[in-house]
Amino acid sequence: MRIRYDLHIHSCLSPCGDDELTPATVAGMAKLCGLDACALTDHNSAKNCPAFFKAAAFYGVAPLGGLELSTVEGVHVLCLFDTLEKTMDFDRFVYSRLLRTENRPDFFGEQLVRDEEDAILAREPYLLSGDTDIPFSEALGHAKRYGGVALPAHIDRQANGAVAVFGTVPPEGGFTSFELRDRDNLNAYKIYLPADDPVILFDSDAHRAEEIGAAGGTMHLPDGISPAEIPREILRALL
Ligand SMILES: [Zn+2]
Ligand SMILES: [Zn+2]
């Protein structure tokens, strides 16, 4: 079966994300866009995933949890999990490795933790768009240790893309899946991929509601699986 996905979406927890892009809005927009599966992946934090999973269940969209890890080199790596429990375990690990800088909401933007009805539960004090002390070469191993998968994010972007930072995608990372922002860049960037049969994701990296689903990503999964099995099968396809 072919499913429609968007596995890289930010919410109001990311300083650069729209303050009105609540976890429930992400799930609702995913449904409106006709997505079968979507992932909430804020910068270095999954603290809006509990609300996102509840809202996704309400709207009938298969949720993946995760975050967009900033490595010590400043490269973005998308980390995805098929359950909320694994997601939040990984969230605690990444938070312990975040380089602590106080957020300045007036300069960087608010970092809002919200519940599934959009109520503000907390404001994250440390700047989430900074780096962690986790090396690029260790990101996949850490994600796997927590039961998930990781892949270099938007390798065709100048800002925080692996190719822009390293000049290529270093094979030491061990990655077999990769994310591109723009389908038109596929041929130009294939030469940088250190895998024989790479899996390529096309995600929106949405920071505003209207951007969700814009990358038009689709994926083949085994026939006959139930909606509840979609997140696990997506991870399997990416490993
Ligand atoms: Zn990024
Ligand atoms: Zn992003």
Ligand sitting nearest the alpha carbon of 10: 2
Least distant ligand from the CA of 204:
2
Ligand 2 centroid to Cα of residue 223, in Å, is 30
Q: How many domains does the chain have?
A: 1
CATH number at residue 171: 3.20.20.140
Q: What is the pLDDT of residue 134?
A: 98
Whole-number Å distance between alpha carbons of 27 and 18: 15
The alpha carbon of 224 and the centre of ligand 1 are apart by a number of angstroms equal to 34
Q: Which ligand neighbours the alpha carbon of 164 most closely?
A: 1
pLDDT at 195: 82
Mean pLDDT per 10-residue section of the chain, whose length is 239 residues: 98 97 98 98 98 98 98 98 98 98 97 98 98 98 98 97 97 96 94 91 98 96 96 97
C-alpha separations of 152 from 24, 70, 135, 209 in Å: 26, 10, 12, 23
Distance CA 198, CA 209 (A): 29
**Longest alpha-carbon distance in the chain:** 49
Residue found by looking up tokens 């899996």 in the block: 199
Closest-lying ligand to the alpha carbon of 203?
2
- Element at 29 (helix H, strand E): helix 23-32
Residues 6+ apart with CB under 8 A from 103: 15, 111, 124, 125, 126, 127, 128
Residue at 68: amino acid letter: E
What is the CA(9)–ligand 2 centre distance, in A? 7
Q: Two tokens at 86?
A: 């694994």
Name the residue range of residue 141's domain: 2-238
Q: Which ligand is nearest to the CA of 156?
A: 1
